């Protein structure tokens, strides 16, 4: 595997778990309790940013290949699998009320 692909997968894993780390919305505004909708919105935003980074890296190495819907469904599924550890730590391992 090329180095850029490895780095991209590591960045994707970190980005997928980032919304579940703190109670800050988009890493800026502190809130008492971040609703699941904010987590979902942050996941979508980070997925799109990561897709832009991947497209940029691919464009630097070779012409960008055309992708169909199957690629994007697989990419979303992989991103959600990467987000699973953060989701579990946030919603299943924490005590109620904290």
pLDDT digits over 48-93, tens only?
999 998 898 888 878 888 899 999 999 999 999 999 999 998 888 7
pLDDT digits over 6-63, tens only?
888 999 999 999 888 888 777 777 777 778 888 899 999 999 999 998 898 888 878 8
- The whole-angstrom separation of Cα 26 and Cα 19 is 8
Confidence class for position 95, pLDDT limits 50, 70, 90: low
Q: Are 86 and 21 in contact (CB under 8 A)?
A: yes
Q: Where are the beta strands (DSSP E) in the chain?
A: 24-25, 29-30
Question: CA quadruple 20, 14, 57, 65: dihedral positive or negative?
Answer: negative
Domain spans, the chain = 3-91
Q: Are 82 and 16 in contact (CB under 8 A)?
A: yes
């Amino acid at each position: 595997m090329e180095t850029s692909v490895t780095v991209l997968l590591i960045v994707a894993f970190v980005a997928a778990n980032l919304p579940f780390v703190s109670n800050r919305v988009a890493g800026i505004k502190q809130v008492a309790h971040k609703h699941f909708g904010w987590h979902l919105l942050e996941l979508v935003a980070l997925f799109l940013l990561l897709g832009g980074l991947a497209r940029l890296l691919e464009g630097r190495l070779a012409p960008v290949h055309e992708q169909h819907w199957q690629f994007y469904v697989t990419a979303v599924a992989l991103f959600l699998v990467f987000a699973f550890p953060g989701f579990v730590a946030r919603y299943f391992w924490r005590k109620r009320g904290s």
